[in-house]
Structure 1
């Protein structure tokens, strides 16, 4: 794929190290973490801070996957609201999940503060924009539930959302001030830097190809012939999961998320577009999400084709959405185009698995991976230290491949096309 079709707007911080692909020498590690994204690095950092010996192995380069390519929206919560979680998980476990979900954004901004990460960020909230009466009723219900728990949230009417976004076509929405935005590539690289400083060994371009267990110790073999020994293994590959753990890749539906960034906006145009620096996601079936970048560009993303892009036309749906919302941007050049993967599960919840003692896997960020995986990483580290499953916010579940998984991708692609057409009728 030409480099022009993988050109994110995000920047590596000047403090980013050039990893020497360090491998632990001899002995038995406390944990090997497969995948150097936000989930893997968060787990590694917190586990190392607790005194564990940790090795991170990544098949590519740190920041190359979804953790460095996402929209940088730090959104608390899950796809479901408190009342649904209480109904489906029971009062005790439901309350645990609600408390966890409420604090996922805190996990990001707390580590930026506590570890002094060089990460551009703004914490002025996230807006869920409603384009239909039905979506507005949903927003009102969500507002009621979180407000009753003391969350700093606000229901927006048409005038309110117009003033905060400057966008066309919304009836109202919901503002969650717990949320914010970051540069995701800086965040991922900085997590790697401080993890390495805490003693974590990080090796790029080391693909793990085999896991075996002998006498209670895991042997982790890489494509290059390296073998490491460890008490535990954590698979943190999410949407990039392969066949390393049989059946795991068939439990998720990986989707491509395409993004564009304009040239830096002229001051007179920028003044009325997201003046408070919030992130926005809308209520369409095939939602779009957008924000301003630290250097003053407009960044917008949405679900794209399942095949790899072959020309700028593959981002045309993003450009149409941008101009629909902000007609004044029609003359502004699109300077950056890129894409990454997200992982969905059928129930829209993260799945935690431990098919054998000491072999852990986490999949399913549902498009909220920055906050969710940062917070899950800390809990996973606590589990590695204590062995107490109560440290985990989600129950450990068996691996259950999606029936007819090979056909699921075709069905998802057809659904995206159908939903996009329905969305067009609701303009």
Structure 2
């Protein structure tokens, strides 16, 4: 069964990108046409670097074109923890990721429905509130004009039932992710990036003072340096360690018919995006044509019919009541790590790779791509010290089993929280 996303049905026709059918060379090769790779390639080209970008499908095919379009600053760790882990440069970088995205969109004039309207992190149980209040206070101490919402305010600003409190971050917002990915691809090409679609890399090897990428079709690309930006879509034939560094969890999403005027007055009247503090929670927002969109963790197996989205549809009914007609159902992979931390690695000379964005990928991947470009082009230190190796998860092939058990365990803990 085909599951076209709301983004795919509401975006203009995709540009046609050539397939690489001949060998060539460049300064930097970028593998992967998602947000991370497109941002890196764009900023490298703007710095005068000769760049080739290879995408196995089309720009925005993977998580970058299927996610919820929530632009949330920061990493999963709070800023005080980031200071302890990697230093103040890391927390400063994390705090600016949303601003970096919106500033880039404005500079390039990308039409992607970008609105910096804020993010609400919602608490479902009293046990969530101390952690949310501490997170808010840490960002407030760094100059963020965040505010606290009690239970009554949460119902007023979200229109949803059952939240006991939460905090609002004005740095955040929303975009149409597929429009953004395609806009970044066009901007990168205009800046001089040689961008190729349907050009799957079969192997990457060190040769002499540089790297050689070998494509399925037989062509090769010689490059001094490489950014491996294929994230959770990395095949084991390309980089087995990176492919085994994360758990590729499915995120399921649904969208309703356009809301009525009465519904719009009640549901997210301020236009914020929302995600829950539960271990296995949902996230929701208004999308194109004022449709209500909601997503969350699905099964590790790909759905075979609309019935596979029953749990997500039940979540929507629990929050907003019944009677919504679902018009779109789709899914995509999210790279998760056990500690919810990004994996930024430099496993070889002139090679950078990052994976495991843990649901923060929209703002973080664009900002990280920019930082990678500055590192290669100007020698600027990376905001997070890269690991010299790529840590692999043990028994990775069994991730559908232990990942599924983990989700059931966390759902049980969520149900027992008070």
Q: Secondary structure of 2:224's match?
A: strand
2:355 to 363, 370, 373: 363
Partner of 1:396: 387
Which one of 258, 273, 283 corresponds to residue 277 of structure 2? 283
Q: Which runs of 5+ in 2 are unaligned?
A: none
Say which of 206, 213, 216 aligns to 1:213: 206
How far did residue 392 of structure 1 move? 3.9
The offset of 1:398, in angstroms, is 1.6
RMSD over equivalenced CA pairs, Å: 1.7
Counterparts of 1:185-224 in structure 2, within 5 Å, are 185-224=178-217
- In structure 1, how many angstroms separate the alpha carbons of the residues matched to 2:21 and 2:154? 51
**Pair 1:257 & 2:254 matched:** no
1:65 CA displacement: 0.8
Deviations 1:218-239 (A, max 9, x none): 1111000111111111110111
Q: State the Cα distance separating 1:241 from its structure 2 match.
A: 1.5
For 2:388 and 2:94, locate their aligned partners in 1 and report how far apart those are by CA, in whole Å.
19
User: What is the match of residue 334 of structure 2?
Assistant: 342
What is the rounded CA distance, in whole Å, between the counterparts of 2:310 and 2:387 in structure 1?
41
Deviations 1:27-60 (A, max 9, x none): x301111110000000000000001111111111
2:407 paired with 1:416? yes
Any stretches of 5+ residues in structure 1 without a counterpart?
none
Cα deviation, residue 409, structure 1: 3.2
Within a 5 Å distance, the mapping from 1:123-138 to structure 2 comes to: 123-138=116-131
Q: For 2:309 and 2:207, how far apart are their aligned partners in 1?
A: 49
Contact persistence 1:23–1:203 (CA under 8 A): no
Name the TM-score, length of structure 1 as normaliser.
Answer: 0.94
SS in 1 for 2:130: helix
For 1:12 and 1:299, the matched residues in 2 are separated by: 14
What is the count of residue pairs matched by the alignment?
417
Decide which of 386, 390, 397 is 2:378's aligned counterpart. Answer: 386
Pair 1:297 & 2:294 matched? no
Once superposed, which parts of structure 1, at least 4 consecutive aligned residues long, lie more than 6 Å away?
none
Choose the corresponding residue for 1:319, options 313, 317, 332. 313
Q: CA deviation at 1:397?
A: 3.6
Q: Where does residue 262 of structure 2 map in the other structure? A: 268
Q: CA deviation at 1:264?
A: 0.7
Residues 162 and 150 of structure 1: CA distance in aligned 2, closer, same or farther (over 3 Å): same
- What SS does the aligned partner of 1:62 have? coil
| 2:43 equivalent in structure 1 | 46
Equivalent position to 1:17, from 15, 36, 40:
15
